Chain A
């Protein structure tokens, strides 16, 4: 089944404790991206990647890191999480062109930083 897999689905952590949210897609998509969803703000782009080793900042990159060492994986790293990073996070992937152009989203990761 074609899908984007995020783990974990739920995470409660403490301020300052480094964490990684994993994202993997099995559709050979070039493009991957991370979003956070907050009430009243919709989805805001954190980072995106056009291909392996090519990443760039979205609108809200502060406090986050990403890497794209393999085409299928695009982990989101919070080196020192803070309470204002409590949010619902989505990973998404897409081909860069063609009839399937458009996002396939993961199921989301609800992160709480206390």
Chain B
């Protein structure tokens, strides 16, 4: 079965703290994609990153970084020096390689306080 688990329902940090959002996935496929999306209070969903199962390189984009570990089936997301504008719900997602179905986690709400 395909499944994405985001165990952290809500996290609160103070601005400039680092924060890591956890994502654990289950799949029987050997080839798959993993994603992170951001949903700010305005409600839209914004694509952040895509990773395929062949590429375990970590990625950094400004204050954002992602740690993909197949051995633990995890795809964690770290925000360094958090800002109030990072306050949002973050979703981790998994898709099969033939891209017919997507599976989203239940989301982690991040509150960054000034």
B45 & A31 in contact (Cβ 8 Å cutoff): no
B35 and A42 form a contact (CB under 8 A): no
User: What band does the interface of chain B fall in when counting residues whose beta carbon is under 8 Å from A?
Assistant: 20 to 34
Proximity bits, A46-84, B CB within 8 Å = 1, else 0: 001010000010110000000000000000000000000
B47 adjacent to A107 (CB under 8 Å): no
Interfacial residues of chain B within 1-56, with CB under 8 A of chain A in the complex: 4, 6, 9, 33, 35, 37, 43-47, 50
- Indicate which residue in A35, A40, A102, A108 contacts B47 across the interface (CB closer than 8 Å): A102
User: Within B56-114, which residues are at the interface with A (CB < 8 Å)?
Assistant: 91, 93, 99-107
Give the Cβ gap from B83 to chain A, nearest Cβ, in Å: 23
Inter-chain contact count A-B, CB under 8 Å?
A: 56
CB atoms of B33 and A105 under 8 A apart: no
- 0/1 string, A70-114, CB within 8 A of B gives 1: 000000000000000000101010101100011111011000000
- By the criterion CB–CB under 8 Å, are B44 and A103 in contact? no
Partner of B44, one of A33, A42, A59, A105: A105
Bound complex: CA A101 to CA B102 (Å): 13
- 5 new A-B contacts at CB < 8 Å, known A102-B50, A105-B44: A42-B91, A42-B105, A48-B102, A101-B50, A102-B33
Listed by A's residue number, 14 A-B pairs whose Cβ atoms lie within 8 Å are: A31-B99, A33-B102, A35-B104, A42-B91, A42-B104, A42-B106, A43-B93, A44-B104, A96-B99, A102-B50, A103-B37, A105-B37, A107-B43, A108-B44
